[in-house]
Amino acid sequence: MTVMPKTIVEINCSTVGSTGRIMFMIAKEARKAGFKVYTCSAVHGNERKIEEQNHIYIGNKLDKKLHLLMAKKTGYNGCFSHLTTGLFLKKIDDIKPDLIHFHNLHNCYINLPMLFNYIKKRNIPIVWTLHDCWPYTGHCPYYDYVNCSKWESECQKCPQIKGYPYSDVDHTKEMFQKKKEWFTGADITIVTPSEWLGSEVKKSFLAEYPVKVINNGIDLNIFAPTASEFKKVHNIENNFMILGVASAWAPRKGLDVFVKLAETLPDEYTIVIVGIGEREKDNLPENVVCITHTNNQKELAEIYSAADVFVNPTREENFPTTNIEALACGTGVITYKTGGSPEIIDEETGIVVEKDDYEALKQAIFRVKKESLFRREKCRNRAMKYSCNEKYKEYVELFKSILEGR
C-alpha cells in the first residue's frame, strides 16, 4: 500500500529578506524528509525569480496597494483583500494541507479573519513562527523602543501609530480585540527564534498555546572566515574596523549610534556601515565607509571577515542573524541588551552593554582593541550551533510530532 506524503503549506509576506530565506530553507529540509511542500507569498513587484517548486502567489500588486491604502486610512490591518484571499483559499482547498506554517502575516496581503475561519473550520494544525511581536499587539511589530507594555492587557492610544504598519487612524484597541478573536481557539504551536520572545508570548493573549524555541540559522558554508581585500580597497589597513550591518537602517537599528561613534572616536578607528541608502549616505560623516544594500552573501562574508568587531546597537530585536553571521566569519560582537540579541554570544565571543549606554559601548570597543579580546576560532565555534541545516531540521521534527499526534 502506497503511503501518500503529508502536505505542508508555508505562508509568508515576502520571498526575500531573512523571513523569505527562512521559509524556503525550511521547505527544502521538509521536502528532503518526504513532505510535499507549497510555499506562498504576497506579490510586491520586486520578487526574485522563484525557482523553488510549488510556489503560490497570493493576490496581485493592485489588490495589495488597495489593501495598504485601506489599512492606512482605516487603521484596520488584514481586514481587506476579500476576493484575492477567497481565490487563494480555493487553491488551498485543492491542496488539502495536513499542516500550515505561518511566518509574517502582516504587510496587508491577506484577509486574516477569512484565513483563520477557514483553518479553524477544517481543524488544520498551524505552526506559527513569530519573527516579531506583531501577532499579539494592536499595531506594533516591536514595542521596546517606546517602552510600552499595553499589549499585556489591551492596546490603545498607540505611541507608534505612525510607524509600520502605517496608519492614519488609531484603532489599536479594536485591532487588539480582533486579533485576539482571530488568533485564539485554533490548533497552533508557536515557534519563537529567541528565548526572549518566547517569554513575551507567555504574557500575551497567545499564552494558551505551546511555545517552542527554534533559533534562526545561517549557511555556515557561505558565512565563514574569508580572505578579504576590503581594508586595502578602502585604505583602512592600519585602522580598527567597526562594522554595522542592517537590511534597513530604521531608528531602532541605531544608525545614530554609529554617527556618534564616527564623530567621537580617535582617527585610528573606522566605522563601516552596510545596508545604507543613498539618502542616508549623504547625511553621514565623511569618515564613515558606506556600503549600499547587498544581496551578495559572499561579499558580505568578506566584509564581516575584515572587521575587527561587529557592533549591533539595536534598540528592538528578536534574534538577529547579523550577530551569527559575524561570529561565523570569526568576528566578535558587541550588542545592546535588547530582545534575544544577547542570547547569541557568550563571554568569549561578545560583550553585552545596556541599551543606549553610549559610554559603556565606547569603552567596550576600546577594550576589544586593547586586549585583542575575541579569538576567531572561538567566534566560529560559537556560530556552529546555528547551522541552518540543523536548525531547520528541528522544524521538520516538529511537523512530524504534531502530525503523528493527530
Express each pLDDT in 100-121 by its tens digit.
999 999 999 999 999 999 999 9
Q: Which regions of the chain carry the CATH code 3.40.50.2000?
A: 7-217+388-404, 230-386
Helix (H) or strand (E) holding 39: strand 36-42
Q: Is the dihedral of CA 305, 306, 308, 313 positive or negative?
A: negative
For 230-386, CATH number? 3.40.50.2000
pLDDT at 282: 83
Q: What is the pTM of this model?
A: 0.93
Task: Give the length of the chain.
Answer: 406
pLDDT at 401: 97
Q: 311 by DSSP, 3-state: which?
A: strand
> Average of pLDDT values for 368-376?
92
Contact 388, 219 (CB under 8 A): yes
Q: 189 by DSSP, 3-state: which?
A: strand
Looking at domain 7-217+388-404, its CATH superfamily turns out to be Glycogen Phosphorylase B; (3.40.50.2000)
Using the structure block, give the residue that is written with the C-alpha cell 585602522.
Answer: 239
Q: How far apart are CA 39 and CA 56, in angstroms?
A: 6
The string of pLDDT tens digits covering residues 261-298 is 999 999 999 999 999 988 888 889 989 999 987 778 89
pLDDT at 4: 76
Number of neighbouring beta carbons within 10 Å of residue 162: 10
The string of pLDDT tens digits covering residues 148-168 is 999 999 999 999 999 889 899
